[in-house]
Structures are given as C-alpha cells and as structure tokens.
Structure 1
C-alpha cells in the first residue's frame, strides 16, 4: 500500500531541507534532491514545484524550528536572566555536540541569497526578530526583578547583543574552535552579567 501523500511530502521536504542546509541553494542540484528525497525529478516538480519553491518551503521550516527551539529553551528556564543564560549555554552545547553539523542555515541563506532574494531576507528577518523578542521579554523581566540595573541598557538592545553572540558561537564552531574554547563563553558571560547587575 502506498504511503499517504502528506507523509511522503513531510519526509521528502525534510530530506531536501537537510541537503540545502549542507550544500546551499546553488550547490544543490536536482539530482541531489532526487537522491535525498527518493523522488524522481518529475515527482519533485509535481509535489513541490520548482527548486526555488522547494527551497522556500525548506527554509521556512528551518526558521520555524529555530523559533520553536528558542521558545522551548526559554520556557523551560526560570524567567529573567536564567533563561537567557540557559539559551546561550544550550547553543554552546549544540555546537559542541555535533561539530560536523553545517552551521546555521539562516546565516548561510542570507549570505548566499539575502542580497538577491527578498523572500529569503524577509524570512530570516522575521525569524531573528521573533527570537530577539523572546529574549527581550526575559531581559525585561530581569530588569524588573532587579537582576539587571535600570541603566544596564534597553532590553531590546541587549537581546540583539545576545542574538549576535549566539550566531557568533555557531560560526566559531563551524570554523573549528574546540570545545574548551567554546565552553569558556558561558562563564565569561556570567561574569559580564554579574558586573552589569552591581550597583555602581
């Protein structure tokens, strides 16, 4: 009995996403996609449309997962700074756990297509802003409950800084930084936070 179409599509879309993530848009051929998904080229077109349409679906899926992952880490943590620090530490852990992983697809997509494909740039912007908003909420809680001084900075600006830090952690991992170097990031961040929490 044939598998339900939705199951085939979900399976194939994830396989295509992994291939695009690893090879990029230009570096992925239709033959690569056919091999990864187990679908013939004709079936790929019939199911997903063009290569561009399949990439858009795959990238949207990746971005939604990034938002969900951020929200879950923060929700599992205590409100305020604890959640933000836990998020940064989790990014470090994920980077160390799989040093061979292809890095952040958002960074790869915007580097390759951001200047020529407004839809990719818009999707990336939506995703990062949503993640930033989640971090800003926790930083606002930290300021309100006294974990951060009132003059420590705007929570949204601090959230942008944290987001930039986590993107940098992934880049360092992709560049071959070892676990010892990456594991120092958490303690240093704790020291900076402690300094920002003290009354001058």
Structure 2
C-alpha cells in the first residue's frame, strides 16, 4: 500500500526545519533524535509523514537544491550577457559574499561527497542535479557562441564541466581547510576560463 503523509503542512515543516541540520551534520550523521529535537515533534509524528529517515533526507535534499537553484536563477536573471551569466558562478560562491544557501553550504557538494558510496537514492538525485547544471551551462555557452560573445571553436560541454569542477572543487578546498582564500583563487580561474573563451 502506498504511503500517504498525514499532513503536507507538517511534512513541509519537518523538511524546512531540519534542512540545515542534514546539510551540516550529513545525511548519515543526522539522527532521529536530531529531528525530534529540532522540530519538537515525536517520532510518531515524523513517521506519520515520512516512511523513514532516508525519505526525510531525500525530501530535504530536494528542498535545499530547489533553494540553491532559485538563488542562482535570480542572479542569472540580472545578467545582461551570456558572459555575465557564466561569471555569476564565480561571483556568487566567493568567500566575500554572504552565502545565501542553507546552513552548511552548497547542498550539491555536501550530498555528493557523502552519498557516492553509501546512499544510492541520494547519489542518483545528486547525479541528476549535476547533469541538469551541466546542461544549463552548456545552453549559456552555446547561446554565447551564437551571439558571438564566445569563440565559435569553444567546446561547450568541456567548458561547462570545467566551470562546475572548479566551483565545486574550490568549495571543497575552502571548506575543508578553513581557508576561503583557496576558494577565491580557484574562482579566479573560473573567470580566466570565461575570459579565454570570450570573442576578441
């Protein structure tokens, strides 16, 4: 029999209240007692709206990713050129910016590094998000080529993957070492990549 949540409102409350905990402590490291403490709900109330902790974790990832995508989309909408759109990814994540994401940082990085070997349903969600991000970047790059902003010999897929690897890798370096300057140096390389594909 298909599981039916008791209350969509309560379900949403649980997701929003525990998102920062999952994103900070990790999906495996977050316990049911963490969820009950944060929400002030009983285990029965949580299990009345989710089949298990894993389902809460997957719903939380969807929510944090939605928040991240919305923030990026807002910044992209302000950009006037395709070059400016690509530079959003260098500027939005730099250490001098007040990070607008859920507590704990970039959910894509956090979930991806944790779930690669331990939580297959979450890994699949992260992989889908990475693929979507790559497609979005490729679209910007191809639009820039068509508009003659970028060189016509630009490899859109390779450039998109390079930007993604630099951003996520820079976030990992800065967060793990507690040296935000490392992140900023890597993001400067993102700017170099964008400038290198720009048409003369």
Question: What's the TM-score once normalised by structure 2's chain length?
Answer: 0.82
Name the count of aligned residue pairs.
Answer: 193
Partner residue of 1:197? 198
1:72 counterpart residue number: 74
1:172 aligns with 2:173: yes
> Tell me, which stretches of 5 or more residues in structure 1 are unaligned?
none
Q: Alignment RMSD, CA only?
A: 2.7
Q: Distance in 2 between matches of 1:46 and 1:10?
A: 13
Deviation at 1:181, TM superposition (A): 5.2
The C-alpha deviation readout for 1:65-123, integer Å capped at 9, x for no partner, is: 33333333222212311111023211215x7525xx52333333233222243311211
Counterpart of 2:163 in structure 1 is 162
Judge conservation of contact 2:86–2:140 (CA < 8 Å) in 1. Answer: yes
C-alpha spacing 1:108/1:86, structure 2 compared with 1 (3 Å) = closer
Q: Give the TM-score taking structure 1 as reference length.
A: 0.82
Unaligned runs of 5+ in 2: 1-6
SS at match of 1:91: coil
- Whether 1:126 and 2:136 are equivalent positions in the alignment is no
Structure 2 partner of 1:28: 30
Q: Separation in 2 of the partners of 1:84 and 1:56? A: 29
Q: Which residue of the other structure, out of 64, 88, 91, is the alignment partner of 1:89?
A: 91
